[in-house]
Structure 1
Amino acid sequence: MTGPHRALTRLPFRVRLAAAFSGLFLLSGAALLAFVVLLARYGTAQQVEGIEAQRLDGPDERPWTGASPAPPAYGGFGRTGEVGPGPRHGDDGLALRKVDTTVRAVQEAALDQMLLWSGIGLVVMALLAGLTGWWLAGRALRPVAAVTDTARRISDLNLDERLALTGPDDELHRLADTFDTMLDRLQRAFDSQRRFVTNASHELRTPLAAQRTSIEVGLADPLPGHLTEVRDDLLSTNRDAEHLIAALLLLARSDRGVEEPEPVELAGITEAVAAGLASEAEEHDVALRTLVRGPLRLPGDPVLLRHLVTNLLRNALQYNRPEGRVEVTLDGRTLTVANTGRPVDPDRVGDLFEPFRRLGQDRVGATGHGLGLSIVRSIATAHGAAVRARPGPDGGLTVTVTFT
């Protein structure tokens, strides 16, 4: 039962509704046909019992009914259909049996023909009912299809679009109004987020820049040894705060999507980023290898795509081991970054793409905030790409970004 039921639940709602129309009509028609056949069989049986046969020749002429115990004489039929002389007295029982057999055969033939043609008519009408149900379901679900198409088309760039469904105040009209109300709330939320990102880029970066300048100027050399260490700690903390704010702003920007896509050469970006991180790889004693097979031009935001490649490579360098390796491959529309390191639990791979999630502190690079892969996933989603990650055979992680 589980298999057919699961197969039925996977069918579109319109198909299931049309099949329900056909099935309901078929069941009700079959019940009605069975009722008619039973009544017809009972009625014809009663009529056969009431049939009278009369003896048309001889002086002892009297009526006989099928229920009479004595077999009467009756008229016969000639080849031309005229009433002929009745049978002899000794042939009465045989003649009556022939009449009874003939009547029953005619009755069965009539019922069989009625059942056959009624069944054919029932199947044809069930198909017509299914087609009618398909058409009615399409008309009834047309507002739902409009809601679905609008939901697929609307993004944060055109949240001002509304269904504005017209017609009677029924369940579908209230559903469309609820959807429009939800879009109003989403538009206000996205507008508030855009204002926050715009203001935060200035309100947060400016004080940190002023703080860094004050530290560098106020604690300039020459300083006592203990103050030099304090200055370095303050500058490191300030630098980490700036990096965190920049990463959060980048994550918020990528979540908004690509507003004005332009042709981007991903192969050139990949090679440039790998070349820029070569010195950092040497510093951490990690071998960085790059393999680019042919150019790849795709529509997108060049700044965001550069951050995508940079975060992938920097994450592969930081979460690595001494004398490890990072392999970058761009083959067709697939970008793959694999590294070595500690074994990663397959059940926890999905957590790496959540903000501020890190699996251990065994990194050879600088400290981070657990936003690298979150930014990668957000930028990939903004460009319609799919991101997958799996543990490497020698430890570490293999991250694949496939562009459509």
Structure 2
Amino acid sequence: MFGRATSLRFRTTLLVIAAIVLVLGTATLAIDIRVDNEVAQRADTNLLERAQALADIYNSQTQASTQALPSYWIPSFLADDGTVYFQIDCGGRRVVSSSQAALLAWPALQPAQSMAFVDMADRQGTALRAIALRFSANANAPHGVGDTNADVASALGAPECVLGLAVDRSEVVDFQQSMDRIEFGAVVLGFLAVAVLTPLLVTRSLHPLSGLARAMETIGPDTPSMRLADTRIRELVPLITHFNEVLSRMEEGLLRERQFASSAAHELRTPLSELRTAIEVEMRYPSGRDVNELLADIGEIGQNMERMVTALLLLTRVEAGIERLALQRVDVSALTKTLIGRHRLRLQERSLKLAAQIDAQVTWMADPTLLDVVLGNLLGNAIAYAPAGSTIQLQCTASGWFVSNPAPDLTAEDVARMQQRFWRKGKEAGVHTGLGLSLAASAARAQSLRMELVLHEGNLLARVLVRFS
């Protein structure tokens, strides 16, 4: 048992929202990491510039005076920066230091390192960003400002110094957190916008499907010829095309079913009337005939009806492409004789003469049931509409089968329309071919036989020609 149907609108909305949130969240996270790194790098660059400036000030002071700097000395450009710690060690001796700087865990430089950055905190818990910078102190010989090459400094006889500078990094942290809040707020606003707009947009996008569903509701058995209108929406073009193809096949199948039912009803009407008449006459006016003979006549009528229904059903399935004919060799000579015997009583009733020329052992590649329909209908039509007391010509050869009967009331235009279903020349004329010739023509085409009707010197000639042996 199937569960509750899932809404396509809901599924599409959910997938779109999930995809946008995932992409937006990933992009925001990447941007946040990039911004934090950029801010941290700029803060470190600024800290490095301050440390180099402090080293340059130290060298300038020692060059101008031989006295050591006081321990409480603080550069003026660092005085307004809040919490600041710094110290300078030269030749293993501390030459200047801010208050409580010695209590901090300054980063240790490796011999090959010229600088190092580290995060630390003081006793008050203030978050600090510190740098340790190696530089050459001023000696009697001049040196480049900010030169950190230890080998050059040693060659000039200048002592090597290490400067430590730590500043409050709360502003940097606050700025990073502020950016995080802004980015998180942007993600939340984006999510809300997506959650509100996506259902509306999806509903708008799926509107053609709703129109398509309404159009499909109007199509039914009562309107088999209706089709869905074309659309410019690329995704719906294959759906509409295939649906219209299915409708066309359904209409063809419905028409075939209706035609089969109509044909069966029309063709069975005469034998059913004969069967009912025979039974009613025998019941009201007993003829004294042998029961077996009477039942044989009734059985013959039943066999005729069975052959007709079988042929109609087979022809309908072949024309629909549901079934393919399995052609076999059919003894046309024997079939023709059987048909003559089947219509012998009718020939006697209408005082018709049959001049038959049947070649021996004439065989065609055909379907026995459908070939019986073709030849039987042509012979039956000739017997039904030939003037009483006239002569019917019949010829059976390996190349074709021919039957000719006088038809004084027919014209060339009538013959051209005789293969139409239920064609009637006129109410007074009484010329009515019913389904016989139309059905015979369809059965002939199914077997690749060529059936022709020709009016020649007042005679209607029906011929069936073999296209292959």
Structure 1-normalised TM-score? Answer: 0.41
In terms of fraction of residues, the more strand-rich structure is 2
Structure label with greater radius of gyration: 2
In terms of fraction of residues, the more helix-rich structure is 1
